[in-house]
Copies of this chain bind each other. A is one copy, B any other.
Amino acid sequence: MSEQNEFKKHMSCALDIGEPLNLLASLTTACNEGYHFVVTKLIHPNHERDLYSKDAPRVIGRTDRLLSSNDWNKLIVCRLSKQFQIDSEIENIREHDKKLLSQELGFACHLYIPAILIKLVQRDNKNLAHLLNCKLQAGASFQVWVETPMVNPAKKSPIVNNEDCDDIWEWWNDFRRYGNYHKRIGLALVMPTDGCMLDDLEIKRWGGEPVKAIIIPTCLFISNQHKQPVLPRVYQEIIKQFLHLDVQYIISGPRFKHTYQQYCSYMGYLGKKLYDQSVIGEFSMGCEDFLQSPLQPLTEHLETPIYEIFEKDSIKYVLYQQAIEKALCDIAKNISPIVVIVVGAGRGPLVQATLNASIITQRKVKVYAVEKNPYAVNTLEERIANEWNDQVTLFNEDMRVCEPPEHADILVSELLGSFGDNELSPECLDGAQRFLKPNGISIPQSYTSYLAPLQSIKLYNEIGMSKTADKTLQVLYETPYVVHLVNAYQITNAKDLFVFEHPNRSDMIINERMRTLKFTAEQNCVLTAFAGFFESVLYKDVILSTNPVTHSRNMVSWFPIMFPLPFPVQVKTNEQIEVTFWRAENNEKVWYEWCLNSPFMGSISNIAGRSYFIKKH
């Protein structure tokens, strides 16, 4: 793993070598300077063609035998020979350029190059989208990187103009929508050079787009005191935002005070520095945007690697221990030992936290550990024999049926899922609270699920590609996923959805819920899913949160949950996103349903839990 992570920290860097007469020589030089690949024109101007001439030359470009196919495929990304006007309104310009472009795309295919760079020069690029998607459908193996300014050039203009057509993101958004968000059509974002303001919102939105490359004009580099090239901090911050998106960097433009080699080694250095600063630790590296099915711990025994991952999050258990300490201190002094029942003890981390809290608070405890998994019990028995002694008693039973010999002052559990209640913590704790004393304490005391609208074209595509033998697309797009959101843009802050409190002393306990939430989009964007988080009050002021704005510092447990929509929905600035969520149940299972009400009325996803549910038994 660690080797792989070291590899992930490395920045893949290209040099834009323009249109060299001798490609092999320029490529060799760039590789010797440390670059991983080059960007060049597919067709050198020497091979300019006029397909209307009767004797159109049959030599259309460099010979493929110049490089091995492996080198073409690994080292050469190509720009087209010119800006083809295939969306021109003048038919013969359009048809002529279409013929030329088609030939070039065929040649790119023939050479097996990994990606071509194209530019959009107007709002509507329907015919270009049509032609490119035809090639991809017919089996072209290249990616298409749309070279796009990172900052809306319209902003340069002092005249404020709110028309969409000035927003380059809209050009891109239309273009890729024509092809139904094809997974091999991505972005090569150009860093802004002319000092126009960087808009944080805009950058965040790019974060939810399939960015494949970032183009860094050489004029952005300045010299440090050692006369080495560096990027100003503002540009470093931009790169930081894209660091975990697996982008490649393209150095483009004439060299000034520095050599190309120096630019490349600086990028290597910058990558290491930024990765080391990055909050995403070793823990989650490699999980970026990886779709996981939520656990079903009630019906399936957790396995060793899962327990191990849980236990690695020291922050979570520090918070639990703090909560237990505070609760121990709040129990009347005359009670000794204090009875603590840990339900769902797993391999014992909460038992350990309880014993630690007992020592710190000097309050004597008697711990009952309830665990249904016989293989975790195997571990607990060993810890009782060798670490904990008689202070801990074990019950190998489901907490909903277990009968400990005495009632608890404190009931401790860690049954929360990524959405709080989605691993049936409410149902389990409602069952377990019968052995809590009347004024006993539950840790956690409450938890609240949170929801936020999300744009992630990458994850929208990932869901469709995960199609397995026994699942239809409908099932895949009505199933929630646990996912470490990286290539995603959270459209606005999360709002609270469902609350559960423990112990629940109501006469009639109802864990079904229904609620409608409204969000306002801050800018034009594409809604592809809702992201779910939770906040939990462990005890009094000890809070545990995965909601980005209140996230428990350095805690690594729980990736967000994502509820997909069946297709991407276009949303305009200030438009309302309204969604209704249900938590529903019957004797066998619990499930969620969700329905978009605005910007347009959708249909209800996962009706009757047909595609996804959590089993009770």
Are A68 and B110 interface neighbours, CB within 8 A? no
Are A301 and B59 interface neighbours, CB within 8 A? no
CA distance A436 to B406 in the complex (A): 101
Are B379 and A300 interface neighbours, CB within 8 A? no
Are A303 and B382 interface neighbours, CB within 8 A? no
Are B110 and A64 interface neighbours, CB within 8 A? no
CA distance A171 to B394 in the complex (A): 44
Residue A65 is within 8 A (CB to CB) of chain B in the complex? yes
In chain B, what residue has the closest Cβ to A396? Answer: B58
1/0 per residue A106-119: CB within 8 Å of B? 11011110000000
Residue A139 is within 8 A (CB to CB) of chain B in the complex? yes
Are B304 and A111 interface neighbours, CB within 8 A? yes
B contact residues around A377 at 8 Å (CB) = 58
1/0 per residue A341-376: CB within 8 Å of B? 000000100000000000000000000000001111
Are B64 and A375 interface neighbours, CB within 8 A? yes
In chain B, what residue has the closest Cβ to A300? Answer: B139
> Given A107-B375, A378-B107, do A305 and B58 touch, yes or no (CB 8 Å)?
no
Number of copies: 2
Residue A474 is within 8 A (CB to CB) of chain B in the complex? no
B contact residues around A139 at 8 Å (CB) = 300
1/0 per residue A96-114: CB within 8 Å of B? 0000000100110111100
Tell me the minimal C-beta distance from A80 to chain B in angstroms: 16
Are A381 and B64 interface neighbours, CB within 8 A? no
- A63 interface neighbour in B72, B301, B382, Cβ under 8 Å: B382
- A106 interface neighbour in B110, B111, B301, Cβ under 8 Å: B301
1/0 per residue A450-471: CB within 8 Å of B? 0000000000000000010100
Residue A404 is within 8 A (CB to CB) of chain B in the complex? no
Tell me the minimal C-beta distance from A591 to chain B in angstroms: 20
Tell me the minimal C-beta distance from A118 to chain B in angstroms: 20
Are A378 and B106 interface neighbours, CB within 8 A? no
Residue A60 is within 8 A (CB to CB) of chain B in the complex? yes
Are A305 and B103 interface neighbours, CB within 8 A? no
Residue A598 is within 8 A (CB to CB) of chain B in the complex? no
Residue A69 is within 8 A (CB to CB) of chain B in the complex? yes
- A304 interface neighbour in B58, B112, B300, B382, Cβ under 8 Å: B112
| Closest 10 A/B residue pairs (Cβ) | A110-B375, A69-B305, A63-B382, A69-B304, A59-B381, A64-B304, A69-B308, A63-B379, A467-B469, A112-B304
Are B347 and A64 interface neighbours, CB within 8 A? yes
> Given A68-B308, A72-B304, A305-B73, do A60 and B378 touch, yes or no (CB 8 Å)?
yes
Are B304 and A59 interface neighbours, CB within 8 A? no
CA distance A347 to B111 in the complex (A): 13
B contact residues around A65 at 8 Å (CB) = 347, 379, 382-383
CA distance A376 to B109 in the complex (A): 12
User: Which residue, of A112, A300, A305, A382, has the highest number of chain B Cβ atoms within 10 A?
Assistant: A305
Residue A18 is within 8 A (CB to CB) of chain B in the complex? no
Tell me the minimal C-beta distance from A368 to chain B in angstroms: 15
Residue A61 is within 8 A (CB to CB) of chain B in the complex? yes
Are A374 and B106 interface neighbours, CB within 8 A? yes
In chain B, what residue has the closest Cβ to A464? Answer: B469
Tell me the minimal C-beta distance from A61 to chain B in angstroms: 6
B contact residues around A305 at 8 Å (CB) = 69-70, 73, 112
> Given A58-B394, A374-B58, do A110 and B63 touch, yes or no (CB 8 Å)?
no
Tell me the minimal C-beta distance from A295 to chain B in angstroms: 12
B contact residues around A304 at 8 Å (CB) = 64, 69, 72, 110-112
CA distance A379 to B111 in the complex (A): 11
CA distance A83 to B64 in the complex (A): 63
Are B378 and A61 interface neighbours, CB within 8 A? yes
Are A64 and B106 interface neighbours, CB within 8 A? no
In chain B, what residue has the closest Cβ to A110? Answer: B375
- Which A517-553 residues sit within 8 Å CB-CB of chain B? none
CA distance A64 to B141 in the complex (A): 46
User: Which residue, of A107, A139, A303, A376, has the highest number of chain B Cβ atoms within 10 A?
Assistant: A303
- Which A204-254 residues sit within 8 Å CB-CB of chain B? none
CA distance A375 to B113 in the complex (A): 14
Are A112 and B303 interface neighbours, CB within 8 A? yes
- Which A311-352 residues sit within 8 Å CB-CB of chain B? 347
B contact residues around A376 at 8 Å (CB) = 110
- A110 interface neighbour in B61, B103, B301, Cβ under 8 Å: B301
CA distance A209 to B478 in the complex (A): 40
What are 24 A-B contacts defined by CB distance under 8 Å? A58-B377, A58-B378, A58-B394, A59-B378, A59-B381, A59-B382, A61-B378, A63-B378, A63-B379, A63-B382, A64-B347, A64-B378, A64-B379, A65-B379, A65-B383, A68-B308, A69-B303, A69-B305, A107-B375, A107-B378, A109-B303, A112-B304, A141-B303, A467-B469
B contact residues around A347 at 8 Å (CB) = 64-65
B contact residues around A68 at 8 Å (CB) = 308
Tell me the minimal C-beta distance from A466 to chain B in angstroms: 10
- Which A41-72 residues sit within 8 Å CB-CB of chain B? 58-61, 63-65, 68-70, 72
In chain B, what residue has the closest Cβ to A73? Answer: B305
Tell me the minimal C-beta distance from A409 to chain B in angstroms: 26
B contact residues around A63 at 8 Å (CB) = 378-379, 382-383
- Which A440-496 residues sit within 8 Å CB-CB of chain B? 467, 469
CA distance A381 to B61 in the complex (A): 11
15 new A-B contacts, CB < 8 A, other than A69-B304, A69-B305, A70-B305, are: A1-B70, A58-B374, A58-B378, A59-B381, A61-B378, A63-B378, A63-B382, A64-B379, A65-B347, A68-B308, A103-B374, A106-B375, A107-B378, A110-B373, A111-B375
Tell me the minimal C-beta distance from A472 to chain B in angstroms: 10
In chain B, what residue has the closest Cβ to A1? Answer: B70
